Structure 1
């Protein structure tokens, strides 16, 4: 088991970085680093179940599912994985069961430090390092884009 940690400073308020990371539309953009077409089902509130899914060529989905263990809006969210999903079928056994992942957002003078921490099986570590390194840069870029006013 490996513990991975990624951090980036984002020139935007914590609430905005939280929204960019967790709102479904922008989530679909930055998670392209993991799998094009990634999405989630569920919510980010404490106790919510959540499914992280990517499409397969045959129209089914694969990914991970878990529970939100702790959620403090614009500050911290923690996920405990309950298993994986392969071709739309949940599997509550295997390497994902019991793994944790968390996102911390701390703001100082309008700059938010985003920290992502996760446990991964050794065989996933190299891939996750590459994917999260790309994903966290994309979150920063999305959050620092000029915000347009909607009319």
Structure 2
């Protein structure tokens, strides 16, 4: 398991960045960096299961480990979804966290990913693009 950290300074409030990250319409916009047409189902309450899908009903499912509004969201990835069917995976502590730190310039958004070598290259390629989209959406929709 390797920890990857990506960060970007955004000239918007943590509340604005949070809404861009998790509101349905803007979530679908910034996650196009990973897969066009991405969306999630479920609630973001701690302990709940969230399913992340592509348009073909494939994706992964995760448990919400932490949800402190406007500050931090953390998921533990549990398995993959194929044609809507959940397939558990032994990924250990495969987590994905979004940490928002308010500062004088707005918000520093950090993404901290614990991942296996299998997914490292994907995250290194896609996450900076995704964060740039979050930045653009947050700053133009003030």
Measured against the shorter chain, the TM-score band is over 0.9
Query: Quick one: distance in 1 between partners of 2:3 and 2:39?
Result: 24
Contact 1:82 1:98 in 2 (8 A): no
Matched, 1:69 2:65: yes
- CA deviation digits over 1:32-80, x for unaligned, max 9? 0110000000122212210111022xxxx11111111111100011111
Q: CA deviation at 1:104?
A: 0.4
- The count of residues paired between Structure 1 and Structure 2 equals 142
RMSD over aligned Cα atoms: 1.3
Structure of greater Rg? 1
Per the normalisation by structure 2, the TM-score is 0.94
Match of 2:138 among 133, 136, 143: 143
SS at match of 2:54: strand
Query: Quick one: distance in 1 between partners of 2:90 and 2:81?
Result: 11
Per the normalisation by structure 1, the TM-score is 0.88
Counterpart position of 2:113: 118
Query: Quick one: distance in 1 between partners of 2:6 and 2:105?
Result: 20
Contact 2:93 2:114 in 1 (8 A): no
- CA deviation digits over 1:78-125, x for unaligned, max 9? 111111111211011254x54111000111235100000111220211
Structure 2 gap segments, 5+ residues each: none
Structure 1 gap segments, 5+ residues each: none
Moved over 2 A (4+): none
SS at match of 1:30: helix
